[in-house]
């Protein structure tokens, strides 16, 4: 049985993770990454907003089901959190390699890299919060 405090912590960690990932997508659409090809997200374009909407659906739909009492949704949320980590790592690697070869928008690139690192850390914290052993099970 999961405690209400742990459930609240998981909900908060999921919301923070979703916000950071969406922020990363928005800021990276301002960076030199948005000039890398014809099929990339431009700032305030339909593609950027559909990417943000997709991320929010994948994070918030399982979160709502989890909040309604289906504890096994933590596994589904863990899969989507792992996919979020893969997205963050990919964006970080591409941004770092693109910044080596161009010096455009350095401030925006540093902001995007900082958001990516924060998103990666928040996803790691999410796993710790969601799957740590309950202290109540050791007290008995």
Between CA 36 and CA 55 the distance in angstroms is 22
What is the tens place of the pLDDT at every residue in 67-91? 999 999 999 999 999 998 999 999 8
Percent of residues, the chain, with pLDDT higher than 70: 84
State CA 56 to chain mean position distance: 9
What is the tens place of the pLDDT at every residue in 19-48? 999 999 888 888 767 767 676 777 878 888
Side-chain-side CA neighbours of 82 within 13 Å: the count stands at: 7
Residues ≥6 apart with Cβ < 8 Å to 139:
none
Alpha-helical segments (H) within the chain = 4-28, 46-67, 73-101, 106-131, 136-139
* Residue 57, pLDDT above cutoff 70: yes
To the question of pTM greater than 0.95 for the whole model, the response is no
Residues ≥6 apart with Cβ < 8 Å to 115:
20, 23, 24, 27
């Amino acid at each position: 049985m999961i405690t209400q405090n742990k459930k609240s912590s998981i909900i908060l960690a999921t919301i923070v993770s979703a916000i950071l990932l969406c922020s990363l997508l928005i800021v990276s659409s301002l960076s030199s990454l948005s000039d890398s090809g014809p099929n990339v997200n431009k700032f305030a374009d339909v593609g950027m907003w559909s990417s943000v909407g997709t991320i929010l659906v994948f994070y918030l739909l399982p979160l709502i089901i989890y909040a309604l009492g289906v504890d096994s949704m933590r596994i589904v949320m863990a899969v989507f959190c792992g996919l979020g980590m893969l997205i963050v790592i990919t964006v970080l690697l591409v941004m770092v390699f693109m910044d080596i070869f161009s010096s455009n928008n350095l401030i925006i690139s540093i902001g995007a890299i900082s958001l990516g690192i924060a998103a990666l850390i928040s996803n790691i914290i999410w796993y710790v919060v969601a799957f740590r052993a309950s202290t109540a099970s050791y007290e008995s």
